Amino acid sequence: MRVLVVEDDNELGPALTSGLRAAGFAVDHATSRAEADLKVWVNTYDCVIADRGLPDGDVLELLRTWRENGYTVPVLVLTARGAVEDRVAGFAHGADDYLGKPFALAELVARVRALGRREQHPRLPQLTVADLTLDVPTHRVRRSGVLLTLTAKEFAVLEALMLRAGEAMSRTELLERCWDEMSEPASNVVDVVIRHLRRKLGPPDLIESLRGVGYRLNGPA
Ligand code: CA
């Protein structure tokens, strides 16, 4: 099982990562909501273990946007707050399990294995818009069956647009989804990646520019 640990505490984060690795999991580590949001859409996890209090906000708000965007991988929320109302809030935002700190690593391992066993989360499907297909597990993108070579960033932006095909996405949303919190929001990095994507995808252009808003990926009318 591959799991993502989202924990900003600089002792607990590395301790959880090494403890879970010792228990046989493949483990990625994020220390903020932005980093976690980037990783979950790029990598394929069987479970996410998330501390509630992160430097860029409450993880429950991020969890709600994940659920609204169809991200169904089980999420276990860790918190110092173990009160009933906190647990209720966690489940209301889409958490699958809740563990109050302090906890024993053995209990966390058992709960993560139980969540993984449910296997109720389909792998992110292959995304298809018009003659464009994007296969998430293999990171392969094809247009009319022709394999395209994209950079990691181009792939991430295209995936974000395909997940929201037919809807406007602002540059800010794309930045938040595809870049980390260190990016300079005023820069034109999104436009540069879109330009490269358009060239690689070829005609007819599937990416529509929305003046003053951002971009929209259009399927067939
Ligand atoms: Ca924390």
pLDDT digits (tens, 9 = 90+) for 38-48: 999 987 788 99
CA of 8 from ligand 1 middle (Å) equals: 5
Q: How far is the CA of 136 from the centre of ligand 1 (A)?
A: 30
The reported pTM is: 0.55
More confident residue, 64 or 126: 64
What's the gap in Å between 167 CA and the centre of ligand 1? 34
**How do the domains of the chain map onto residue ranges?**
2-116, 126-217
Ligand 1 centroid vs 179 CA: distance in angstroms?
22
User: Tens digits of per-residue pLDDT, 161-218?
Assistant: 998 899 999 988 887 666 654 445 556 889 999 999 999 999 999 999 999 899 999 9
Provide CB contacts within 8 A for 192, sequence distance 6+. none
The pLDDT of residue 182 is 44
Retrieve residue 65's tokens: 């946007």
Distance, CA of 129 to CA of 152 (rounded, Å): 19
| 75-131 confidence digits (pLDDT tens) | 999 987 667 777 777 778 889 998 988 899 999 988 988 887 665 445 556 889 999
> How high is the mean pLDDT of the chain?
86
Is 150 in contact with 158 (CB distance < 8 Å)? yes
Distance of CA 188 from the midpoint of ligand 1 (Å): 32
Neighbours of ion ligand 1 (CB under 5 A): 8, 51, 53
User: Spelled out in words, what is the top-level CATH class assigned to the domain 2-116?
Assistant: alpha beta
pLDDT band at 220 (very low <50, low <70, confident <90, very high): low
Q: In terms of DSSP H, where are the helices of the chain?
A: 12-22, 33-42, 59-68, 84-92, 105-118, 152-163, 171-178, 189-201
DSSP label at residue 122: P
CATH for 126-217 is 1.10.10.10
Residue 6 C-alpha to ligand 1 middle, in angstroms? 9
